[in-house]
A and B are shown apart, each in its own frame.
Chain A
């Protein structure tokens, strides 16, 4: 059914179609309408799930983990400070191999207090052992809800999954979205079967302690499982296309990069604007391209290096900064290039912090600066004279 809904509502429909058993959440702007919609669906009988109203985000994820430890399919959602308040539990979910799916509405972090979108909340938590996907539009948010469960619950992966959506820009804007039938969703997504649960037939110790020597091996296995997710994501998207007829591009999207000289690498909703500028520049004869990173973890290092091979200059545009160094996406992209033995000129463009607008003009300026030898680290809208160095 095609309908005109917000990004949050689209995501809520995706989660409804995945039939979670337990939803636990605490409201935070701009995530709130996701759980409002799910709560309404539960009370209207459109979704048979236990909806648990908890008193904090720490409890929201703890509850989802506890429910997952009974073999239930679980969902939670959060944003910004709420995600940070969950930080302790993020490790429990990942280390315990509980495939919780969580939506995070990307929002700036305090202080100065601000509710608008940037990606510093989730980028600061890349090392917590969660799969991190960044979507670009409402349809993708819905579709990826189903893909998320399929990947997270796969016995080769068993890793929690965070679906990131840019706050307001995606969560609160309206688009035409196709809501698939339950029957198709059921065909795509098998039910969750696991040994990782309280089992009354064969009682086990859940979430046990492990001493130094073996603990290390558990972490090694966790790392291996996250890497295996790359293959499982590809399989899931292939099957998704067969069932629903919509094709996604895997860990990254290569938009007109094959013969490009200048490429902007970016993530999330701003990709749409960059794609449009690439088209404009192509009409002007500039060999521009866009490389959109969809998954920050597992990180598509080989895919990125392959696409950027032979490119003259790369600009990484991101809504995050690791103070005292550079943008985290930039660090990761440079590492991927270095591992592949490529020496491509790269520079970093920080924009959109605290929800600041990123304009078409600024994207054009980035492409222009890639043609000359510019600064390594740039903040959009800050003049050259204002930098200390």
Chain B
């Protein structure tokens, strides 16, 4: 399965690491990689989006519409990855992808 979180994202002081932030560590702006300061919401998911990298052309349409901002670009391939700690499984990305690259896999199958 593709879409593992890469090291770069993991090293940012996320809530998932249980780190408390000082005022100085708060960004000035409300734009950051997914889940910088929010609560993880992976448990909401009943379906998981999985990206077929052979089909994905890196257009980032999924990123523009993902309500959690948890789609990011794999620096090596230019294709997308999904941060599953913050993906709530809404399926918007799968619906929007014109390449049919994302399929929603049902849990508990």
Contacts and interface: CB of A to CB of B under 8 A. Distances in A.
B34 A198 contact: no
Contact of B37 (A196, A198, A214, A220): A214
A325 interface: no
B29 A203 contact: no
Given A211-B37, A214-B37, A206 B30 contact: yes
Interface in B17-71: 21, 23, 26, 28-39, 60, 63-64, 68-71
A221 B23 contact: yes
Contacts of A96: 29-30
A209 B31 CA distance: 10
A209 B23 CA distance: 17
B27 to A, nearest CB: 8
A207 B73 contact: no
Nearest to A199: B31
Given A202-B73, A203-B60, A208 B23 contact: no
B32 A198 contact: no
A225 interface: yes
Chain A interface secondary structure, helix, strand, loop or mixed? loop
Contacts of A210: 30, 37-38
A203 B21 contact: no
Contact of B32 (A194, A205, A217): A205
A197 interface: yes
B64 A221 contact: no
Contacts of A194: 29
B72 interface: yes
B31 A200 contact: no
A158 B29 contact: yes
Interface in A217-259: 217-218, 220-221, 225
A361 interface: no
Contacts of B38: 208-211
B7 to A, nearest CB: 15
A158 B32 contact: no
A149 B38 CA distance: 31
A198 B31 CA distance: 8
A120 interface: no
Given A211-B38, A220-B23, A203 B30 contact: no
A306 interface: no
A97 interface: yes
Given A200-B60, A205-B35, A195 B26 contact: no
A210 B37 CA distance: 6
A149 to B, nearest CB: 17
B25 to A, nearest CB: 9
Given A203-B63, A208-B36, A225 B69 contact: no
A205 B33 contact: yes
Contact of B31 (A206, A214, A218): A206
Contacts of B63: 200, 203
Nearest to B63: A203
A205 B87 CA distance: 12
8 contacts: A97-B29, A158-B28, A200-B60, A205-B35, A208-B30, A210-B30, A214-B37, A218-B26
Interface of B: 21, 23, 26, 28-39, 60, 63-64, 68-73, 86
